[in-house]
């Protein structure tokens, strides 16, 4: 007998705790997880089945797609469109909302996902993953349009990711804490290996792409200058840095041993509003991090409080250990006050 509860048992027991539950949500989760097992298998076989490399096409963000970006997106669509639990889907790899084909029944949920996060890492065998967020479809809408997906992160019903690394991990929240599972390849089931994940409030580890330093706002420059100065600077202790270039892997590291992750906005034309996407990267990861006791900010507000105005909206995101995120927020507030006090309009008024 193997140790640990299977994911199937876990979600059925969760469902039993809600007597009025119809089981629709449980079946939807199960279908998502099956799709991710299929993606995991393709990622794992990689070059052996000729799925690595560029597809030579561009997505709506103007990014060159990898073959695996397209394959993962198709796996998600095909595994979920027939299920009867969804009213529509949206993904990083599709410009428009994906309607459920008319031959299938529809359900009350909306699914948004990043089919393969960190796909620049596919050729180098570094961890990548699938990120998803489940929203409720507004009442009486059976063919949802873009506007119906534009809900703030606080309205998420569920958020999760599957990390394809040395092991395949599923991490999930429905607003009652965060649980982590590991895929047992022999039996094809996820096993609960990390119940009730919590992250420490303080940390000495940060993740940011340092090559963008010259483009950052002064608040981010100040924060990073101070942590890099370590025990010789105002923080009085040394910090450590990591950058995987897969947000999903960075968030997983933070859940396992603490830390913070930052992708701030900067003054490059395509990063003015941030680099990561609100609906299928920043929101689900923020939900997970907050549920594990961490915080997530744009520098100026809580990520999950932002009302999206477009499907592929980008946003600055800094998340992880509460103490450091609080400090980053404070540095932004101080910077904004200073900028305001230097404004010629303000000086005239005085």
Residues forming contacts to ligand AHG in the complex (CB under 6 A) are 63, 92, 114, 117-120, 209, 245-247, 263, 275
Site string for Mn ion, 58-97 (x = CB under 5 A): ----------------------------------x-----
CB-neighbour burial class of residue 66 (10 A; exposed 0-12, middle 13-18, buried 19+): buried
Residue 250 lies near Mn ion (rule: CB under 5 A): no
Closer residue to ligand AHG, CB minimum distance, 73 or 291? 73
Closer residue to Mn ion, CB minimum distance, 114 or 217? 114
Give the length of the chain: 350
- How is residue 220 written in tokens? 């981010």
Min. distance of Cβ 209 from ligand AHG in angstroms?
4
CA distance 104 to 251: 35
Task: List, as one string, the DSSP characters of 154-192.
Answer: GG-SEEEEEEESSSEEEEEESSS-EEEEEEETTTTEEEE
Quick check: 111 and 52 in contact, CB under 8 A?
A: no
Q: Which of the listed partners (ligand AHG, Mn ion, none) does 179 bind, with a CB threshold of 5 to 8 Å by partner kind?
A: none
Residue 161 half-sphere exposure, CB side, CA atoms within 13 Å?
A: 30
Quick check: 209 and 176 in contact, CB under 8 A?
A: no
Closer residue to Mn ion, CB minimum distance, 170 or 249? 249
Closer residue to Mn ion, CB minimum distance, 107 or 316? 316
Closer residue to Mn ion, CB minimum distance, 91 or 298? 91
- How is residue 335 written in tokens? 């910077």
Q: Which of the listed partners (Mn ion, ligand AHG, none) does 245 bind, with a CB threshold of 5 to 8 Å by partner kind?
A: ligand AHG
Q: Which of the listed partners (ligand AHG, Mn ion, none) does 246 bind, with a CB threshold of 5 to 8 Å by partner kind?
A: ligand AHG
CA distance 33 to 169: 11
CA distance 253 to 331: 25
The answer for residues whose C-beta is within 8 angstroms of residue 40's C-beta and 6 or more apart is 162, 164, 168, 183
- How is residue 252 written in tokens? 């997983």
Q: Which residues are annotated as a binding site?
A: 92, 114, 116-120, 209, 281
Closer residue to ligand AHG, CB minimum distance, 118 or 316? 118
Residue list 90-129, contact with Mn ion (CB under 5 A): 92, 114, 116-117
Quick check: 180 and 169 in contact, CB under 8 A?
A: yes
Q: Which residues are annotated as a binding site for Mg(2+)?
A: 92, 114, 116-117, 281
Min. distance of Cβ 327 from Mn ion in angstroms?
26
Pairing of strands 178-184, 189-194: antiparallel
For residue 159, report the phi and psi dihedrals to the nearest 5 degrees. Answer: -140, 145
Min. distance of Cβ 132 from ligand AHG in angstroms?
13
Closer residue to ligand AHG, CB minimum distance, 27 or 94? 94
Q: Which residues are annotated as a binding site for substrate?
A: 117-120, 209
Min. distance of Cβ 91 from Mn ion in angstroms?
9
Min. distance of Cβ 149 from ligand AHG in angstroms?
18
Pick from 152, 158, 55: nearest CA to 109: 158
Q: Which residue is nearest to ligand AHG (CB)?
A: 247
Min. distance of Cβ 163 from ligand AHG in angstroms?
12
Min. distance of Cβ 250 from Mn ion in angstroms?
11
Binding site for Mn ion (CB under 5 A): 92, 114, 116-117
């Amino acid at each position: 007998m193997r140790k640990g509860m299977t994911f199937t048992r876990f979600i059925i027991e969760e469902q039993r705790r809600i007597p009025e539950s119809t089981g629709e949500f449980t079946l939807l989760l199960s279908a998502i997880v099956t799709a991710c097992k299929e993606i995991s298998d393709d990622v794992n076989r990689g070059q052996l089945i000729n799925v690595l490399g560029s597809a030579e096409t561009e997505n709506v963000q103007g990014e060159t797609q990898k073959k695996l970006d397209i394959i993962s997106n198709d796996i998600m669509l095909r595994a979920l469109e027939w299920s009867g639990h969804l009213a529509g889907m949206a993904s990083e790899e599709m410009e428009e909302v994906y309607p459920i084909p008319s031959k299938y029944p529809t359900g009350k949920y909306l699914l948004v996902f990043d089919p393969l996060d960190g796909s620049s890492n596919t050729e180098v065998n570094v961890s990548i993953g699938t990120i998803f967020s489940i929203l409720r479809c507004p009442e009486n809408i059976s063919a949802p349009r873009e506007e119906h997906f534009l809900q703030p992160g606080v309205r998420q019903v569920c958020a999760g990711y599957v990390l394809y690394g040395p092991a395949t991990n599923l991490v999930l929240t429905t607003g009652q804490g965060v649980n982590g599972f590991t895929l047992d390849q022999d039996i094809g089931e996820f096993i609960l290996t990390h119940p009730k994940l919590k992250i420490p409030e303080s940390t000495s580890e940060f993740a940011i792409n340092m090559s963008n330093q010259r483009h950052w706002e002064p608040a981010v420059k100040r924060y990073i200058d101070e942590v890099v100065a370590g025990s010789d600077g105002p923080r009085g202790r040394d910090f450590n840095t990591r950058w995987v270039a897969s947000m999903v892997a960075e968030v997983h590291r933070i859940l396992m041993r603490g830390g913070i992750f930052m992708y701030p906005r900067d003054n490059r034309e395509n990063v003015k509003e941030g680099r990561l996407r609100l609906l299928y990267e920043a929101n689900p990861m923020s939900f997970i991090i907050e549920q594990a006791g961490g915080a997530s900010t744009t520098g100026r507000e809580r990520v999950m409080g932002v009302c999206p105005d477009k499907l592929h909206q980008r946003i600055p995101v800094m998340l992880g250990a509460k103490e450091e995120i609080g400090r980053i927020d404070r540095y932004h507030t101080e910077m904004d006050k200073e900028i305001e006090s230097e404004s010629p309009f303000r000086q005239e008024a005085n």
